[in-house]
Structure 1
Amino acid sequence: MNVRTLGLITMLCAPAMLIDGYRHGMERTLNGENDLTGNLLYMAFAVGWWCAMLGLRKLRAAGHGRLGRFIVTLPLITIFLAALQSPLDTGHFNMQSPVYIVADLCWPLSMVLTFAVSVAALFARVLPLPLRLAPLFCGVSLPVGFAYMAFARLQDMPLAEFGWHTATGWFLLGLALMAAQSSKTQTTLASA
């Protein structure tokens, strides 16, 4: 699958968590409480996210060395594990099992790793600057959400803000992947 296709999938899946938030009136649903549609929406977001990380890996956005490849490969593993939570929730799997706990913990871990990828991409300078900002916008979604929680003295992540941030961020990341593939193709054609 080429980077352009991965970017398109990322863009199409970007609003999935926001849509699920609107379905529930921006009220938080606890693990295991969502319905099949909600579980599929969360899985769709994870698929788009996974495609985005794979696109960044194919572009070597975090650098051409081993460390860059390692940094961008880690989220591919954790996002896959996080996506497993949707079928586990659909099947009413035991939430105390190690498998479920790992899948549940991989959601925030994947967000932290996305931040690490975004910082690596920013400093690797493989992509043009505007395209390096899209992963950074995604990478700061969890820290911005926590900062907002602290500032507003909230007990839970503000779902509307977080949903809009992720929908916008991942849409822009998908767009950046498509643009990076287009500019890479044009550069290849020009040098041939």
Structure 2
Amino acid sequence: MNVRTLGFVTMICAPAMLANAFRHDFQRVLNGQDDVIGNLTYLVFAIGWFCSMLALRQLHATGHGKLGSFVVTLPLVTIALAALQGPFDILHVDMNSPLYAVTDLTWPLSMLLTFVVSVAALFARVLPMPHRLAPLACGISLPVGFAYMAFARLEDLPQAEFAWHTAIGWFLLGLALVTLGARRSAVQARPA
């Protein structure tokens, strides 16, 4: 898929976790306790997230070297593993199994790696400046959530804020990718 298409998929999938949060009145739902629709919303979000990282990889957003390529490729692995958690919950896979534990751990790990990608994209200066900030809107969602937890002395991530942040952040990233993909297509279409 080209960058523009990947951006559209990211935009479409961005509000999936927010939709599920609305379904549960922004109350936390523990692993294995959501219904099929809820588990599928997490899978849909992960698909959009994966597409956004794939587009950033195609754009060499984190740089053209081996380290930049590695930084943007690693989340593709962890997001793919995290995406399996929804189907595992639908199939009632034992939550104590090592594979389930891996899928559960890769959600926050993928969020942290998204933050690393966003910082790398900011410093690599491959993308034009306004577009360079779009990955950061996604990358800060977990750190901002943890900071809010600490400030408000909460025991868990604030569900409403986190759901809105991810929906808006990934939508903006998808929009940036669509714009960059359109520019890239226009440049490639110009006669030499």
TM-score tier (shorter)? over 0.9
Letter in 2 for 1:61: A
Letter in 2 for 1:126: V
Identity %: 66
Give the count of matched residue pairs.
192
SS at match of 1:106: helix
Letter in 2 for 1:180: L
For normalisation by structure 1, the TM-score amounts to 0.98
SS at match of 2:133: helix
* Counterpart-to-counterpart distance in 2, 1:186 and 1:86: 38
How many Å apart are 1:130 and its aligned residue?
0.4
Structure 2 spans left out of the alignment, 5+ residues: none
Q: Which residue is equivalent to 2:8? A: 8
Letter in 2 for 1:164: W
Q: Which residue is equivalent to 1:179? A: 179
Matches within 5 A, 1:60-75: 60-75=60-75
Q: Which residue is equivalent to 1:28? A: 28
Q: Which residue is equivalent to 2:41? A: 41
Q: Is 1:164 equivalent to 2:167 in the alignment?
A: no
SS at match of 1:157: coil
* Counterpart-to-counterpart distance in 2, 1:125 and 1:32: 42
Q: Which residue is equivalent to 1:52? A: 52
Matches within 5 A, 1:19-168: 19-168=19-168
* Counterpart-to-counterpart distance in 2, 1:189 and 1:85: 41
How many Å apart are 1:180 and its aligned residue?
0.9
* Counterpart-to-counterpart distance in 2, 1:87 and 1:53: 21
* Counterpart-to-counterpart distance in 1, 2:191 and 2:144: 42
* Counterpart-to-counterpart distance in 2, 1:108 and 1:7: 22
Change (3 A) 1:98 1:117: same
Structure 1 spans left out of the alignment, 5+ residues: none
Once structures 1 and 2 are overlaid, which stretch shifts more, 178-187 or 21-30? 178-187
Letter in 1 for 2:48: G
Once structures 1 and 2 are overlaid, which stretch shifts more, 180-189 or 103-112? 180-189
